[in-house]
């Protein structure tokens, strides 16, 4: 069985995801207080780890590309490194582009979700770094299977999905999101065409939310005027 997955995002009132572009907090409202809500709410979930897309993980992982010589040909099966009781930092990286350089991201044990087409040299680099990996099918897009395998291998019950918009959209399309947790800043980005917290990148006309409905389960105003919404995802009525 796959883990319970909460998509937790901070946003402006127009759904954008880059806080550096938001309007300034109003007089007397602390930017630090607003920003602090994100991690505090995240910690409340007491999840077994977090998931981000390749682009976001690339910004977080600090390793450098290196060439592992004479990498042995290995079967495309999961590799579980030393987790040592840590939470998981899961990167969805179908082509093996993220270089970790160590076995953790921010102290949480790194797990790469890969396509079977990645090179043996890249897999050797991950093993040398102490990073765990699982495969999500030939193209790396069978995320349902990858989530089930992670649940089984790491005894994971709950994960937090934290963007960016494209990986969130992919998880939503695959009906892998059980709940949304959305922190709405008292702010606007305001520019047309910016990235949003849900940016499904699929075929023309495809609607990722088809067959799904959201039910509001929680609404709270936090210090500084941030609004915290929680929505459960349910099958849409027929």
Ligand X SMILES: NC(=O)c1ccc[n+]([C@@H]2O[C@H](COP(=O)([O-])OP(=O)(O)OC[C@H]3O[C@@H](n4cnc5c(N)ncnc54)[C@H](OP(=O)(O)O)[C@@H]3O)[C@@H](O)[C@H]2O)c1
Judged by CB under 6 A, does residue 164 bind ligand X? yes
Place of tokens 């970790």: 100
Number of residues that bind ligand X (CB under 6 A): 27
Radius of gyration in angstroms for the set of CA atoms belonging to the chain, rounded to a whole number: 19
Judged by CB under 6 A, does residue 165 bind ligand X? yes
For the bound state, the minimum distance from the C-beta of residue 238 to ligand X, rounded and expressed in Å, comes to: 26
Are residues 60 and 99 in contact, defined by beta-carbon separation less than 8 angstroms?
A: no
Per-residue string for binding with ligand X, 53-92, x by CB under 6 A? Answer: xxxx--x--------------------------------x
Choosing from 95, 144, 182, 212, the residue that interacts with ligand X (CB under 6 A) is 95
Cα(first)–Cα(last) distance of the chain, in Å? 26
143: number of Cβ within 10 Å:
21
Find the farthest-apart pair of alpha carbons in the chain and give their distance in angstroms, rounded: 60
Judged by CB under 6 A, does residue 141 bind ligand X? yes
Distance of alpha carbon 117 from its chain centroid, rounded?
Answer: 22
Choosing from 7, 17, 123, 176, the residue that interacts with ligand X (CB under 6 A) is 17
Are residues 171 and 50 in contact, defined by beta-carbon separation less than 8 angstroms?
A: no
Q: Which stretch binds ligand X (CB under 6 A): 104-112, 120-128, 136-144, 148-156?
A: 136-144
Q: How many residues does the chain have?
A: 238
**Residues found near ligand X in the complex (CB under 6 A):** 9-10, 17, 19, 52-56, 59, 92-95, 97, 140-141, 143, 162-167, 170, 195, 199
């Amino acid at each position: 069985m796959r883990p319970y997955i909460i998509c937790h995002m901070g946003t402006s009132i127009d759904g954008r995801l880059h806080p550096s572009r938001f309007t300034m907090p109003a007089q007397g409202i602390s930017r630090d207080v607003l920003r602090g809500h994100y991690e505090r709410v995240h910690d409340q979930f007491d999840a077994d780890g977090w998931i981000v897309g390749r682009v976001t993980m690339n910004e977080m992982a600090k390793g450098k590309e290196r060439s592992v010589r004479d990498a042995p040909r290995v079967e495309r099966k999961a590799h579980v490194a030393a987790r040592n009781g840590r939470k998981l930092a899961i990167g969805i990286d179908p082509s093996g582009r993220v270089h970790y350089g160590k076995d953790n991201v921010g102290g949480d044990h790194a797990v790469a979700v890969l396509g079977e087409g990645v090179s043996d040299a890249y897999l050797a680099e991950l093993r040398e770094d102490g990073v765990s990996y699982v495969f999500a099918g030939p193209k790396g897009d069978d995320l349902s299977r990858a989530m089930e395998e992670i649940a089984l291998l790491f005894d994971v019950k709950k994960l937090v999905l934290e963007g960016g918009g494209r990986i969130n959209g992919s998880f939503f399309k695959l009906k892998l999101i059980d709940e949304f947790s959305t922190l709405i800043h008292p702010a606007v980005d305001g520019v047309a065409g910016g990235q949003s917290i849900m940016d499904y990148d699929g075929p023309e006309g495809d609607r990722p939310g088809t067959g799904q409905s959201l039910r509001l389960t929680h609404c709270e105003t936090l210090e500084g005027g941030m609004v915290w919404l929680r929505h459960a995802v349910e099958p849409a009525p027929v």
